[in-house]
């Protein structure tokens, strides 16, 4: 049985075949933020209901924080008033991007069920949780009743093996996944990742978060890693303990898996996604050295401590061109503080970076780093559709933090190994 099915069967108390009947599931946590929950406030009020289980709500303020317009300030105020009125905990507000602060929380555990009002809720699957985004109607029902209807997704087994090259990161693994599936190619399935890479350099948690984050961008309902020693070490570092009990093992010959993918990571090189689609992936060396006006290092896919550390290692003691904007947005305040303690922030600023508040920022065209017509950006985020970060006439390459930092120094899209 796939891990996703085991988690959902245990929660529902019965067994249902993948893709068959709808079932009701009660999540442990409901992730939300001002950009999506604000759309539901009036509808919930008209229904005459209140939030059924406010203690299960993990609500952040990350999209319009701090607000860049009066309109967005108004949206944020309505959301904050709603949170307060419904008795929802406020301790997660203004702490960073919802997906990052969720995986920093001790309730984000293997076997947990997490439903989110945002597609990239899948990020939390890296710890072995079932974590998925749901639409507005589903979230409205979930807030009012405490449960959501869904079908169990069919699963595919995505196994990594081989020795991970030095300059290849989790973002490169995610871009290779996007290249394989294309946009939507994973069609409501669960991608269950298995790390069988060579001893000594396993796929780290930051890379796993990025892979699960972008699973939804190739059409998957969720992505998750089968818990292993990397998972337990992460939980021990975060919580001071890790419950290793339970059977997390999965079998390659399990009939629940409708597809098997085996990827030799040793064959990978630094990659980029060309403007317009996160699945239009090529080696960074083949990007023709297009001139870059801005580099953005941040987002729920590329603003973690490891990303900032990788960028600082490339930039240390060097300067980006004076006309190039290097915007760095730590994914959470914890990431920001840890980066300050390591001297990473000082290194980035010395190289010419502008470091902004922990929030979604330029990703999604929200604020602090928007692009003008004709500009080119290299971004560590997860989407590069036309108009995603400002002007519809701007162009966005997706890349790892190392590739982004190297491109910032060169003023053009480059392979970081060069």
Query: What CATH number should be reported for the domain holding residue 212?
Result: 3.40.1060.10
Instruction: Name the domain boundary from 150, 165, 185.
Output: 150
pLDDT of residue 15: 61
> How would you classify the pairing of strands 294-297 and 376-379?
parallel
Q: Number of structural domains, the chain?
A: 3
Q: Alpha helices, DSSP H only, in 249-397? A: 305-315, 333-341, 344-350
Please report which helix (H) or strand (E) contains residue 402, including its range.
helix 401-410
- Let me know whether 389 and 346 are in one domain: yes
> How would you classify the pairing of strands 281-283 and 271-273?
antiparallel
Task: Answer yes or no: is 389 within a domain.
Answer: yes
> Phi/psi of residue 267, each to 5°?
-85, -5
- Let me know whether 355 and 395 are in one domain: yes
pLDDT of residue 381: 98
Q: Which of 342, 346, 343, 366 is nearest to 355 (CA)?
A: 346
Instruction: Name the domain boundary from 150, 181, 205.
Output: 150
- Let me know whether 306 and 208 are in one domain: no
- Let me know whether 197 and 276 are in one domain: no
Per-residue pLDDT of the chain (418 residues; tens, 9 = 90+): 899 999 998 877 666 667 666 889 999 999 999 999 999 999 999 999 999 999 999 999 999 999 999 999 999 999 999 999 999 999 999 999 999 999 999 999 999 999 999 999 999 999 999 999 999 999 999 999 999 999 999 999 999 999 999 999 999 999 999 999 999 999 999 999 999 999 889 999 999 999 999 999 999 999 999 999 999 999 999 999 999 988 898 888 999 999 999 999 999 999 999 999 999 999 999 998 899 999 999 999 999 999 999 999 999 999 999 999 999 999 999 999 999 999 999 999 999 999 999 999 999 998 889 999 999 999 999 999 999 999 999 999 999 999 999 999 999 999 999 9
Task: Give, rounded to a whole angstrom, the gap between the first and last alpha carbons of the chain.
Answer: 45
Q: Which residues have C-beta within 8 Å of that of residue 350, sequence separation ≥ 6?
A: none
**Rounded CA separation 22/17 (Å):** 10
> How would you classify the pairing of strands 376-379 and 353-355?
unpaired
pLDDT of residue 53: 98
Task: Answer yes or no: is 126 within a domain.
Answer: yes
Instruction: Indicate left, alpha or beta for 279 from its phi (over 0: left) and psi (-120 to 50: alpha).
Output: alpha
- Let me know whether 168 and 263 are in one domain: yes
- Let me know whether 124 and 70 are in one domain: yes
pLDDT of residue 215: 99
Task: Answer yes or no: is 86 within a domain.
Answer: yes
Structure tokens at 142: 């979930």
- Are the CB atoms for 165 and 265 separated by under 8 Å? yes
Length of the chain in residues, anyone? Answer: 418
**Rounded CA separation 338/343 (Å):** 9
Instruction: Name the domain boundary from 150, 165, 196.
Output: 150
Q: Alpha helices, DSSP H only, in 124-258? A: 136-145, 170-181, 205-215, 229-239
pLDDT of residue 11: 79
Specify the 3-state DSSP secondary structure of 211. helix
Structure tokens at 190: 């669960």
- Let me know whether 311 and 254 are in one domain: no
In what side-by-side order are the strands of the sheet with 222-225? Answer: 222-225, 190-197, 155-162, 257-264
Q: Domain range holding 294?
A: 271-410
pLDDT of residue 367: 85
Q: Which residues have C-beta within 8 Å of that of residue 265, sequence separation ≥ 6?
A: 160, 161, 162, 163, 164, 165, 168, 173, 197
Cα 336 vs. chain centroid, distance in angstroms?
17
- Let me know whether 336 and 392 are in one domain: yes
pLDDT of residue 288: 87
Task: Answer yes or no: is 188 within a domain.
Answer: yes
- Let me know whether 142 and 224 are in one domain: no
Structure tokens at 225: 């890693």
How far from 326 is each of 284, 308, 343, CA to CA, in Å? 19, 12, 18
Task: Answer yes or no: is 416 within a domain.
Answer: no
Angle 391-286-291 from CA coordinates, rounded to 5°: 40
- Let me know whether 10 and 142 are in one domain: yes
- Let me know whether 247 and 342 are in one domain: no
Angle 371-206-63 from CA coordinates, rounded to 5°: 40
The DSSP code for 261 is: E
Structure tokens at 386: 């036309």
Task: Answer yes or no: is 143 within a domain.
Answer: yes
- Let me know whether 254 and 277 are in one domain: no
**Rounded CA separation 315/313 (Å):** 6
Task: Answer yes or no: is 418 within a domain.
Answer: no
């Amino acid at each position: 049985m796939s891990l996703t099915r085991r988690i959902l069967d245990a929660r529902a108390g019965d067994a249902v075949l993948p893709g068959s009947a709808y079932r009701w599931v009660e999540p442990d946590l409901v992730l939300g933020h001002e950009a999506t929950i604000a759309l539901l406030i009036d509808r919930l009020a008209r229904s005459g209901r209140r939030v059924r289980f406010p203690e299960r709500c993990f609500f952040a303020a990350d999209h319009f924080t701090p607000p860049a317009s009066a309109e967005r300030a108004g949206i944020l105020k309505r959301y904050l008033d709603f949170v307060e009125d419904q008795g929802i905990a406020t301790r997660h507000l203004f702490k960073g991007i919802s997906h990052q602060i969720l995986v920093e929380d001790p309730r984000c555990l293997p076997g947990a069920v997490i439903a989110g009002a945002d597609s990239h809720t899948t990020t939390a699957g890296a710890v072995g949780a079932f974590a998925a985004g749901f639409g507005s109607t589903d979230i409205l029902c979930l807030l009012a009743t405490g449960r959501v209807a869904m079908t169990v997704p069919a699963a595919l087994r995505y196994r990594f093996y081989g020795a991970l090259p030095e300059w290849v990161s989790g973002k490169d693994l995610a871009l290779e996944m996007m290249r394989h599936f294309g946009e939507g190619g994973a069609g409501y399935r669960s991608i269950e990742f298995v790390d069988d890479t060579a001893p000594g350099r396993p796929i780290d948690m930051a890379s796993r978060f990025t892979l699960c984050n972008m699973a939804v961008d190739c059409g998957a309902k969720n992505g998750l890693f089968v818990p292993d020693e990397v998972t337990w070490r992460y939980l021990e570092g975060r919580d001071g303990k890790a419950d290793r009990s339970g059977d997390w093992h999965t079998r390659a010959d399990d009939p629940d898996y409708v597809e098997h993918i085996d990827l030799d990571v040793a064959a990978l090189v630094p990659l980029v996604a060309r403007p317009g689609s996160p699945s239009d992936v090529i080696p960074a060396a083949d990007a023709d050295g297009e001139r870059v006006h801005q580099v953005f290092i941040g987002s729920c896919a590329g603003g973690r401590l490891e990303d900032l550390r990788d960028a600082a290692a490339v930039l240390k003691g060097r300067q980006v061109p004076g006309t190039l904007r290097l915007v760095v947005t730590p994914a959470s305040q914890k990431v920001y503080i840890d980066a300050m303690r390591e001297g990473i922030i000082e290194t980035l600023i010395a190289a010419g970076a502008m470091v902004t508040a922990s929030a979604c920022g330029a990703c999604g065209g929200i604020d602090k780093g928007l692009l003008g017509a004709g500009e080119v950006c290299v971004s560590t985020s997860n989407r590069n559709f036309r108009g995603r970060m400002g002007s519809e006439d701007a162009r966005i390459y997706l890349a790892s933090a190392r590739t982004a930092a190297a491109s910032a120094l060169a003023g053009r899209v480059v392979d970081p190994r060069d």
